[in-house]
Amino acid sequence: MQSIFQKIGNLSLPLITGIVAALIWANIDSASYDRLIYGEIFRGVSLHFLINDVFLVFFFAQMGVEIVRGATPGGNLYPLKNTIGNLFGALGGVLLPAGIFFLLNGFWGLPAYTHGWAVPTATDVAVSLLFAQIIFGIRHPAYTFLLLLAVADDIAGLVIIALFYPTPDQPVQPLWLLLTVVSVVLAFLLRRRRVRRYAFYLLAGIPAWFGLHEAGVHASLALIFVVPFMPHEVDAKHTDKDATLVKFEHDFKPIVDYGLFFFGLGNAGVVFANVSVLTLIIFISLLVGKTAGIFAMVKLIGLFGFRINKKIADTDLLLIGLTAGVGLTVSLFIAEIAYPDHSVAEAAKMGALFSLGNGFIAITAAALLHRGRFARRQTLFAERK
């Protein structure tokens, strides 16, 4: 029974269920959906806030665990210069989609659409990693590559929002970010004193959460600053079951896996609107821009000696780009703040919603190319024959 419970979580079925439920509910009765998700529970706190600003803290913390593990000797990101390729890949996955958006909008679109150039630059970390898990599995270096790339992309997206889409009633206040330094110092002192209970490290992340929130930056990244200080394995090949990082991952993984149902429910409730040329522009920018941008930038930086893990083939890199082309929730958010005109915003959101298809394109391509888990299945099938 426990293995079935774990398998359901590992396959991200709760997330898929939440997305489907949100789409159906929002299109049947959008008023009741909005009341549940955005309605005030108490003193300005909504379910949407609890999902995106509280629950996602632990989701990103689990992502941080994978990054720390990958950066240890023998890990998929070791030596650390391998991460340069990831970071530049993220840069390519931001710049080229924006460039394609401007190009396509110049041919097909309208001047009124220009302000939404950042919509196709986003990658939905949770959903893109779901597709990567299906294609590669979480232990494949391609999964770790996409993980770091997606986190870097998400941070870039937050910077873009802060600089180009500031909220008039909540301007960015960078001084609050100093509280993240407080969390880092606290976590460092805990590690120095050899504190092994992860609860203390979680408490150390509170100043970072508050600082990010007050600065006008997404508070869900708070524990990213703390997780690397949790005592963990000395290398990726030898797991210390008593290590703080391992216990934290073990205890919170099922909470995160099943909590993603609420993430999908709270973020995918898009009302199907009339599709316009803007929808197509955003979809193509995500599909082509992410795939080509990540691939080209990784290859370019490789000429300067910053190479990625040798186990990631060119076809794997293309699949990573396709998977990163799932914009969904972050793209939905940018579309909402980029276009004051509701009808234009809805058309842009449809492009973000259709980007879910990029993940399924990636799965189909992986099966046809026999990459990742599909390569292993093909080998097993051939052996049985």
pLDDT of residue 379: 47
Q: Residue 112 half-sphere exposure, CB side, CA atoms within 13 Å? A: 11
- 80: tokens are 């650390």
In order, the DSSP letters of 294-344 are: HHHHHHHHHTTT----TT--HHHHHHHHHHHT--HHHHHHHHHHH-SSHHH
Blockwise average pLDDT, block size 10, the chain, 385 residues? 54 81 92 92 89 89 82 72 81 95 95 94 85 88 86 76 66 82 97 94 96 82 92 67 87 90 86 87 96 95 84 93 89 83 87 92 93 66 44
Q: Which domains does the chain have, with CATH numbers?
A: 2-384 (1.20.1530.10)
pLDDT of residue 24: 93
pLDDT of residue 361: 95
pLDDT of residue 108: 93
Beta strands in the chain (DSSP E): 40-42, 45-46
Tell the burial category of 277 from Cβ atoms under 10 Å away from its Cβ (0-12, 13-18, 19+).
middle
Q: Which of 16, 25, 13 is nearest to 269 (CA)?
A: 25
pLDDT of residue 357: 92
pLDDT of residue 381: 41
Give this prediction's pTM. 0.77
pLDDT of residue 170: 60
- Provide the terminal-to-terminal Cα distance of the chain, rounded to the nearest Å: 32
Q: Are 361 and 296 in contact (CB under 8 A)?
A: no
Task: In whole angstroms, give the CA distance from residue 79 to residue 145.
Answer: 13
Taking the CA atoms of 10, 222, 155 and 246 in sequence, report the sign of the dihedral they define: negative
What's the chain's Rg over C-alpha atoms? 21
